[in-house]
Amino acid sequence: MAVFVDENTRVVVQGLTGSQGRFYGLRNRDYGTQIVAGTNPRKAGTDVEGIPIYATVAEAVEQAGANTSFVIVPSAFAADAVLEAAAGGVKLIVCVTEHIPAHDQARIYNTLKRDYPDVTMLGPNCAGILSPGKANIGFTPTEVAKPGGPVGVVSRSGTLAYQALYELTAAGIGQTTCVGIGGDPVPGTSFIDALAAFEADPETKAIVLIGEIGGSAEEEAAEYIQDNVSKPVVAYIAGVTAPPGKKMGHAGAIISGNKGTASAKMDALTAVGARVAQNPTEIGGLVQEALKEIGAL
């Protein structure tokens, strides 16, 4: 069973009339995702290859039955787009936009928690979410994924998620869902949220967690794993050689003093029983070992 999205997910693309929104929206549709609407107040009443364009998300929810939003608009407009989606009635928002100012990210996070506690947001600055064979929202290349499970993947990094999918597929191991949570300082969904979803999913038998330097999300995930996760976890932490004070790609991937280092995160995960890969190519083999150990392979 997939988490967060499946074949019944109905998506409105905020940004479908733009070049990137059109490219990825149609690519997602071609995979089989139900892309039922786009929004643009200046182009309401038109369509993009048969997908109707509405003025607002609320109209897309009411008239096209959308229950999920894919936000792929420029950073200056992304915060307002997310909040419009929440107010419009969708329950899942996938925001791939990067370079959203930190104060806007904080405003999004706090407003959703206060006013829309039943709305889940993935991102910002994430690759999106893929439930192989069922739905894809965002950038994740479906060519490297294998439907059917039994492994769930959650990652701060898009590129490393793609490699994890490739390594698993090459080993003949399918995936239930690959969840991108993004690498910005204020993500809408945490590792813990994804771990809880995978723990509750009967078809997910093992979990791959991909983190990176900066912040304390991986250490918090380790504490959660110790108390709440019964399934085997395989982890990889990017940035082992990153020097203190240097940002590595993502806005949140920066070491401050002795906090947020790759070694500290790896030690925390190892201490709670996770198998920690030294490089991404080890992920497939470690997952094989874990699944064999529990009789799931």
Q: Which residues are catalytic?
A: 250
Q: Which among 28, 90, 107, 29 has a CA at the least distance from the CA of 56?
A: 90
Q: Please, what is the Cα angle at 38 between 130 and 25, to 5 degrees? A: 35
User: Regarding beta strands 47-48 and 120-122, do their DSSP bridges make them parallel or antiparallel, or are they unpaired?
Assistant: unpaired
